[in-house]
Amino acid sequence: MELDFERCYRAVDSRDQRFDGWFYTGVTSTGIYCRPSCPAMTPKRQNVRFFPSAAAAQGAGLRACRRCRPDAAPGSPQWDVRADVVGRAMRLIADGVVDRDGVPGLAARLGYTERHLHRMLHAELGAGPLALARAQRAQTARILIETTELGMAEIAFAAGFGSVRQFNDTVREVYAATPSDLRISRSGRPVAGGAGTISLRLAYRPPLHAAALLDFLALRALPGVEEVRDGTYHRGLRLPHGPGSVALTPADGHVAATLRLADLRDLAPAVARCRRLLDLDADPVAVDATLAADPVLGPAVRAEPGVRLPHAVDGFEMAVRAVTTQQISLRSARTTLSHLLAATAVADGRTGHGTDGPDGGGDRPELSAFPDPAAVAAAPEPAFRMPAARRETLRALARAVAAGDLDLEPGGDREETVRRLTALPGIGPWTAGYVAMRALGDPDAFLATDLGVRRGATALGAPDDPKTLHAYADRWRPWRSYAVIRLWRAA
């Protein structure tokens, strides 16, 4: 990746937090690397180098700044929206694929050799897949050290390190401090926390329209899986090593997250999925600048800046929702899905993981993850309160995902996934477009035939005929998915 020195230096000099995560500032005179918005004195030009990733800065022998904590910066919006191999690889690394399956597993998921994948990542990010995964392990270790009272050996393996020695060496190298030093909070006291409960802050680039996010999620919340109450979104999670749950509360400058995990090795993938769900790595200024230039969307964008595109923590869940919602209202779809959830709960072994607070107390029912593809495929006839054709579509979808023939996760190839989706009986352009937008994170999908989109277009004064609206939407590229959210909100 080519980084323009002058542009980067101006961002650092102005401490512009919009560039946090886009690049990292290395200061050779002090041996540290920072966020662009670091409040420290701006370093001299001759002492500055810019890096496209934290792993590249660490590879140059620099340690993370203790003041601005660059390891906790928002992720680059490039890897959040790009559909190429590097973007897919970054999303898979964030989801912990390298920790679980190694570089061979990552390369196999992407369909490239390990050597070629290393070349591509190094050219774009200045570091290979192992170095990128190592940087993520270091951040995971720091979170566990500072927010739990686990022993250091437990933290080492939970964060994905192969040995305690490797853990100690990495923490000292990245943070210029021992794990024991990091355990002491700023107040000088150990940070309290249960073994399976972790509280942390998820950074984002402002602005963030929190009300729009919570409204969107509340309207579509599935009882037993998710809910919004008192300004906090709660949901159950299905993670690689076991169940979990999360409570997400938008705040000024960050989203407060309380995670309860059955296995702490799932911390990194849980954080990645929550960030993705709330679209926290987006660049809202770039999105809003494009949409605000249109006379139809401009007033709404200026009135409500920072409206995000909610994605998914489970691509299969989002596909099932899309199929179920075909030609019926959201309320009817929720009722149908609630019946399916109840019918598959026993067969799927879902037990919930608690969402009432850090201790899981309270008398509210626990939330569970959405059933997996195998459970849906094996569900009995009465579980599907829908037309026979749609029932068979859901079963065909579940079988394809369970067999590995259809990849609905962020690392999937968007074009190939849409092609395979539309090859299934009962899945047309609207369903595939909805899945691409929310499950695969395509920022430029557009649902011209969607009733809510057309109603929103009418409310804002845009053409509502699908063909004319589709042509009009070209002016919203490459952010047409965000325009869909705006039109739904207007409707």
The model's pLDDT over 343-367, given as tens digits with 9 standing for 90+, comes to 887 555 554 444 444 344 445 668 9
Cα–Cα dist 444/441, whole Å: 9
| Domain layout of the chain by residue ranges | 5-72, 77-147+150-183, 315-351+366-490
According to the model, what pLDDT value does residue 196 have?
A: 79
Q: Classify domain 5-72 at the CATH topology level.
A: DNA Methylphosphotriester Repair Domain (3.40.10)
The closest alpha carbon to 235, from 320, 319, 353, belongs to: 353
Q: Which segment, 175-184, 268-277, 363-372, is predicted with the most confidence on average?
A: 268-277
Name the CATH superfamily housing domain 315-351+366-490.
Answer: Hypothetical protein; domain 2 (1.10.340.30)
Cα–Cα dist 14/47, whole Å: 17
Query: Cα–Cα distances in Å, from 445 out to 8, 251, 465?
Result: 31, 29, 17
According to the model, what pLDDT value does residue 185 have?
A: 52
Here the tokens at position 204 are 């984002």
Long-range contact list for 150-156, CB < 8 A, 24+ apart?
A: 150/195, 150/264, 152/179, 152/180, 154/264, 155/179, 155/264
Write the DSSP symbol of residue 76.
Answer: P
Catalytic residues: 34, 450
Which CATH number is 77-147+150-183 given? 1.10.10.60
According to the model, what pLDDT value does residue 188 have?
A: 46
According to the model, what pLDDT value does residue 16 have?
A: 85
Pairing of strands 254-261, 48-51: unpaired
What is the crossing angle of helices 267-277 and 85-94, to 10°?
120
Q: Which residues, 6 or more positions from 199, have their beta carbon under 8 angstroms from its beta carbon?
A: 147, 193, 256, 257, 258, 259, 358
The model's pLDDT over 266-312, given as tens digits with 9 standing for 90+, comes to 999 999 999 999 999 999 999 999 999 999 999 999 999 999 999 99
Q: Are 448 and 442 in contact (CB under 8 A)?
A: no
**461 pLDDT higher than 70:** yes
Q: Are 318 and 273 in contact (CB under 8 A)?
A: no
**Mean pLDDT computed over every residue of the chain:** 91
Q: Which residues, 6 or more positions from 187, have their beta carbon under 8 angstroms from its beta carbon?
A: none
Number of H helices, E strands in the chain: 23, 9
Count the helix, strand and coil residues of the chain and give each as a percent rounded to the nearest 5.
Answer: 50, 10, 40
Helix (H, G, I), strand (E, B) or coil at 489: helix
DSSP string covering 295-320, please?
Answer: TTTHHHHHHSTT------S-HHHHHH
